[in-house]
Structures are given as structure tokens and as C-alpha cells.
Amino acid sequence: MESGKYTLGYKTVLKSFRNWKGKLIIIAKCCPPHRKSEIECYSMLAKVGVHHYNGNNNVDLGTSSGKYFRVCCLIIIHPATAFGTVLHVISTSVLGITPILHDINGTRDPRPEPLPDPYTY
């Protein structure tokens, strides 16, 4: 998601790592340890911050992202517009309260450019 502000979910988090996009990872407390250490490993290599959300579980992280589903990990891609989310999520984790946030919609991806010819470098 190049033009999105954040993405939710383990698969998209890894995808963002492979596309070199993202500024901060937030992981729920109940994330399975193998998955958590894999994300931390990738973020150590990519020098991206990881924040462990202080809510009880992934239900809480989903709720505080304004979604009606569970979220185990999420990545903030453009902090400019999602800054509010980050501050809110971190402050709520500090205070232990999880109010529902406004949904921040990413814009649709523009039509992708045609791929380059193979082996012409």
C-alpha cells in the first residue's frame, strides 16, 4: 500500500518490510512469540521502531484502530496523517484506556507503472 497511511495485519507488515516502507510497528501483547520475534528481527534489520501496545490483547488493538476485528500487528507507513493515530494509540496504551478512534482511510493506489524490461540494467 504505497499511498496508504497504515496497514493492519501480519502479512501486510512483512510486505511493507519487503517494499521498504513503514516508520513504526505496533504489536499487540498477545501476539504469538514466534511471530513477534520475527517482526522484531525484521525491524532490527530495517531500523524501524517497534512499540508493544499495552492493551490486553489483539481485540483491544483492533478497537483502538477503529476496526471491528482483531489486529495483532500494524505498521504506520506515513506518519504525517496517521500521527494522530500513533499518539492516540500510544497514549491510550500508557493510560490503559482504549476509546474508538476515527477511521483514517487510505486513498486507493494509483495505477501501477509498467514493469521494466528484465535484464536491462
Partner 1 sequence: MVKFLKPNKAVIVLQGRYSGRKAVIVRSFDDGTRDRPYGHCLVAGIKKYPSKVIKKDSAKKTAKKSRVKCFIKVVNYRHLMPTRYTLDVDLKDVVAPDSLQSKDKKVTAAKETKKRFEERFKTGKNRWFFTKLRF
45 near partner 1, judged by CB under 8 A: yes
| Strands lying side by side in the sheet with 73-76 | 6-8, 73-76, 24-27, 49-52
Neighbours of 104 (CB within 10 A): 14
Backbone angles phi, psi at 74, to 5 degrees: -145, 160
Residue 3 or 19 with smaller CB distance to partner 1: 19
State the nearest-atom distance from the C-beta of 81 to partner 1, in Å.
18
75 φ/ψ angles, rounded to the nearest 5 degrees: -125, 135
Closest separation in Å from C-beta 51 to partner 1: 15
Give the one residue of 17, 39, 85, 89 binding partner 1; rule: CB under 8 A.
Answer: 17
Binding site for partner 1 (CB under 8 A): 14, 17-23, 41-42, 44-48, 115-119
